[in-house]
Amino acid sequence: DIQMTQSPSTLSASVGDRVTITCRASQTIADFLAWYQQNPGKAPKLLIYRASTLETGVPSRFSGSGSGTTFTLTISSLQPDDFATYYCQQYDTYLSFGGGTKVEIK
C-alpha cells in the first residue's frame, strides 16, 4: 500500500493569509495526486488533479505543485469559505488518502 502523510494536521489562519499544506507519499507516485476540500456534513469536493491541474470552477487562489513523493496545496489568500478539511489522494496504485488537514480560524 502507498501511505500518504499530510502536514500539518491542523492549521490556524486568518482571512487573507497564504496557506500551504504538504502531502508526502511513501513511494514515488509521479504526479498522480489529487486534492479535495471537505466541509462538515458534506462530501469531499475535488479541487486539483494531476498534482497541479485545477478542476473546473475551482477558484484560482488554489494551486498545487510537486511530483514524485512530495506535494503541496497552496491557498494564496484564504477566504471564509476555505475553512474546511483538506485531503490529498494518490491514484498511482489504486487509491489512498492522506489523514487530512483541518484549516481553522485563528
Q: Which residues bind another protein (CB under 8 A)?
A: 1, 32, 34, 36, 42-46, 49-50, 53, 55, 87, 89, 91, 94-100
Give the distance between the most distant pair of CA atoms in the chain: 37
List the one residue out of 75, 85, 68 whose CA is nearest residue 32.
68
Q: Going by DSSP bridges, is the β-strand pair 19-25/70-75 parallel, antiparallel, or unpaired?
A: antiparallel
Shortest Cβ 87–another protein spacing (Å): 6
**Residue nearer to another protein on the CB measure, 80 or 94:** 94
CA atoms within 13 A on the CB side of 50: 3
Shortest Cβ 105–another protein spacing (Å): 19
Shortest Cβ 77–another protein spacing (Å): 24
Shortest Cβ 94–another protein spacing (Å): 6
Report d(CA 12, CA 19) in Å as an integer. Answer: 9
**Residue nearer to another protein on the CB measure, 49 or 71:** 49
Ramachandran bin of 47, using left for φ above 0, alpha for ψ from -120 to 50, beta for the remaining angles? alpha
**Residue nearer to another protein on the CB measure, 14 or 56:** 56
